Amino acid sequence: MSAVLAFLGLLAVAAGAGFFVAGTAGVIRFPDTPSRLHALTKADNLGLGLVVLGLLPFVPGWFFALKLLLVWALVLLSGATAAQLIAERVRGPEPPA
């Protein structure tokens, strides 16, 4: 493994951790439930994606790399679907037709 790849990987991992912090800040600070839902799904998806991307140089083979990417794909799909379901329960007033 080249040192450059390892460095880029750690950079991506650090950025991912940063997005987790940002997501938590949004979940705590945003004023209404649907907005907090935005913060949770979007920042965390990107955070996890960057962590996965950053770990790719450190896995022992392509098989583990695929499995890592699968974890992310699963969280991305289920997170985006679940967010819509939850949003339907908690959305604010409908705009006039």
Whichever of 4 and 82 has its CB closer to other proteins, that residue is 82
Longest dimension (CA), the chain: 59
Smallest gap from Cβ 80 to other proteins, in A, equals 5
Whichever of 4 and 30 has its CB closer to other proteins, that residue is 30
The CA distance from 7 to 25, in Å, is 27
- Pick the closest to residue 50 from 65, 72, 83, 66 (CA basis): 72
Smallest gap from Cβ 1 to other proteins, in A, equals 10
Smallest gap from Cβ 73 to other proteins, in A, equals 9
